[in-house]
């Protein structure tokens, strides 16, 4: 197994520290080399690989971005955005009202996963507004929020359109949870502000989700850096996956989640986390299900299946076994609870609830993969120190 990259990252326990070094060691990451790459790009060149809902095509003078089925339940919905560099001749075949000029200088983001990719490219300074600043983990962005340099723009019906208008960003990056999202998006567009939908959260392959950094690479004219980060992650993830598959003989059964008001929303088998559990050598209890959304089950139905679980992961916001008991006492009778095999993904979290699992974990899913593999296969990761996860005590 190639542990070089994994071990290398562990020397830099912060994302910013890692990225600084990564940029320094990557050849040709300067803005000058990026410009040369763009100038030499042939037409009709698709640059995405694993992502199922994102296509980026390099065309003469601009990039054509297509977001495929951008929200849950969407069918045959394609959103097309044309990205034109500010310093190039405007392509005659495009209408200026239909383009986004790049590099983006000011952006409002509605998801912390978007912020992680912007940070990975070293463009924190461009973030002028976010939805729910308390959920931001990044130390750099938190400092800018505390200094009043990043505004809270609200969300959905509470979206502060007047504030967004006063910020006057080059772009608002949204994510949709349904076609109803078009309502408030339309109101922003009426203000003359460009809006782009991001569907990374719907990707079922961790590497497909990580590949969305290429969208930000296109938005900031840092395509080469974004591609280098993605290719490094691809190599690290695949090396780790191969090592796991060659060194395990059993696949422990894994339970996920926590009930909410008598309903247990179960992640389907075609989900991002189900794929990581499989790659980590686990046997997710609901691996054979398929859905575009979390599936609601009664507690009793999930409980019967959970009796077979060896490990219980991603347990809501739980930090102690007593909190599980407070949710439902029956859950403390599960074998995985009694054996103490409880681990939650909230080791790196701020006092306000910003969780790095949802930020840098999106850009570097091999770190999630290694954590989960080390939890369910400690025999092959004896020296591993958990990064996103922590053990939950059952007493």
User: What number of other Cβ atoms are within 10 A of residue 307's Cβ?
Assistant: 12
Separation CA 293–CA 247 (nearest Å): 33
User: What number of other Cβ atoms are within 10 A of residue 196's Cβ?
Assistant: 20
pLDDT for 182-224, tens place per residue?
667 777 878 889 999 999 999 999 999 999 999 999 999 999 9
**Residue-by-residue DSSP string for 163-206:** HHHHH--SEEEE-BSSTTHHHHHHHHHHTT--EEE--GGG-SSH
Q: Return the pLDDT at 1.
A: 37
User: What number of other Cβ atoms are within 10 A of residue 277's Cβ?
Assistant: 30
Contact between 314 and 259 (Cβ < 8 Å): no
Asked if the bond preceding 103 is cis, omega within 30° of 0, the reply is yes
Helix axes 223-247, 272-279, angle to 10 degrees: 50
**Residue-by-residue DSSP string for 329-361:** GGGGGSHHHHTT-EEES-SSB-TT--BGGGTHH
Q: Return the pLDDT at 39.
A: 36
Pairing type for strands 390-391 and 283-284 reads unpaired
* DSSP letter, residue 260: B
25 CB-near residues (< 8 Å, 6+ apart):
none
Helix axes 31-40, 223-247, angle to 10 degrees: 90
Pairing type for strands 127-130 and 107-109 reads parallel
Separation CA 243–CA 7 (nearest Å): 15
Phi (first) and psi of residue 72, to 5 degrees: -60, 130
Q: Contacts from 56-60 at CB under 8 Å and sequence distance 24+?
A: 56/214, 56/215, 56/218, 59/91, 60/91
Is the four-CA dihedral 210, 83, 74, 114 of positive or negative sign? positive
Q: Return the pLDDT at 180.
A: 57
Q: Return the pLDDT at 238.
A: 98
Q: Return the pLDDT at 177.
A: 64
Per-residue pLDDT of the chain (395 residues; tens, 9 = 90+): 333 333 333 433 444 444 433 433 333 333 333 333 333 333 457 788 899 999 999 998 999 999 999 888 888 889 999 999 998 999 999 988 889 999 999 999 988 889 999 999 999 999 999 999 999 999 999 999 999 999 999 987 788 989 999 999 999 999 876 655 566 777 787 888 999 999 999 999 999 999 999 999 999 999 999 999 999 999 999 999 999 999 999 999 999 999 998 899 999 999 999 999 999 999 999 999 999 888 999 999 999 999 999 999 999 999 999 999 999 999 999 999 999 999 999 999 999 999 999 999 999 999 999 999 999 999 999 999 999 999 999 87
Contact between 153 and 108 (Cβ < 8 Å): yes
Separation CA 266–CA 252 (nearest Å): 18
> What DSSP element (H or E) covers 37?
helix 31-40
Separation CA 370–CA 367 (nearest Å): 5
Residue indicated by tokens 């005659």: 92
For residue 325, the SS3 value is helix
pTM recorded for the entire structure: 0.86
Is the four-CA dihedral 131, 136, 138, 143 of positive or negative sign? positive
Helix axes 112-120, 15-25, angle to 10 degrees: 40
Q: Return the pLDDT at 200.
A: 93
């Amino acid at each position: 197994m190639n542990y070089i990259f994994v071990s290398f990252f562990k020397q830099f326990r912060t994302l910013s520290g890692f990225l600084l070094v990564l940029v320094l060691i990557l050849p040709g990451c300067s803005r000058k080399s990026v410009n040369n790459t763009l100038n030499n790009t042939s037409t009709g060149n698709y640059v995405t690989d694993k992502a199922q809902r994102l296509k980026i095509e390099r065309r003469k003078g601009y990039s054509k971005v297509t977001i495929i089925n951008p929200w849950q339940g969407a069918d045959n919905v394609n959103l097309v955005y044309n990205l034109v560099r500010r310093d190039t001749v405007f392509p005659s075949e495009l209408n200026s009202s239909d383009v986004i000029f790049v590099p983006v200088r000011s952006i409002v983001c509605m998801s912390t996963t978007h912020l992680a990719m912007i940070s990975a490219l070293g463009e924190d300074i461009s973030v002028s507004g976010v939805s729910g600043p308390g959920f931001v983990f990044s130390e750099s962005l938190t400092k800018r929020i505390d200094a009043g340099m990043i505004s809270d723009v609200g969300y959905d019906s509470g979206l502060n359109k007047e504030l967004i208008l006063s910020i006057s960003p080059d772009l608002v990056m949204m994510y949709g949870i349904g076609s109803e999202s078009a309502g408030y998006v339309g109101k922003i567009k009426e203000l003359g502000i460009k809006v782009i939908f991001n569907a990374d959260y719907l990707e079922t392959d961790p590497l497909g989700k990580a590949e969305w950094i290429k969208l930000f690479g296109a938005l900031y004219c840092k395509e080469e850096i974004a591609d280098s980060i993605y290719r490094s992650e691809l190599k690290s993830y695949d090396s780790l996956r191969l090592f796991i598959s060659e060194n395990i003989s059993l696949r422990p059964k894994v339970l996920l989640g926590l009930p909410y008001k008598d309903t247990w929303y179960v992640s389907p088998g075609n989900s991002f986390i189900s794929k990581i559990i499989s790659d980590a050598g686990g046997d997710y209890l609901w691996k054979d299900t398929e859905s575009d959304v979390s599936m609601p089950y009664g507690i009793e139905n999930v409980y019967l299946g959970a009796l077979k679980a060896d490990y219980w992961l991603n347990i809501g916001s739980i930090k102690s076994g007593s909190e599980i008991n407070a949710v439902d006492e029956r859950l403390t009778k599960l074998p995985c609870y009694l054996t103490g095999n409880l681990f939650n993904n909230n080791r790196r979290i701020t006092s306000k609830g910003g969780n790095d699992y949802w930020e840098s974990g999106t850009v570097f899913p091999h770190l999630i993969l290694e954590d989960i593999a080390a939890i369910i296969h400690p025999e092959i990761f004896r020296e591993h120190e958990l990064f996103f996860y922590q053990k939950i005590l059952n007493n």
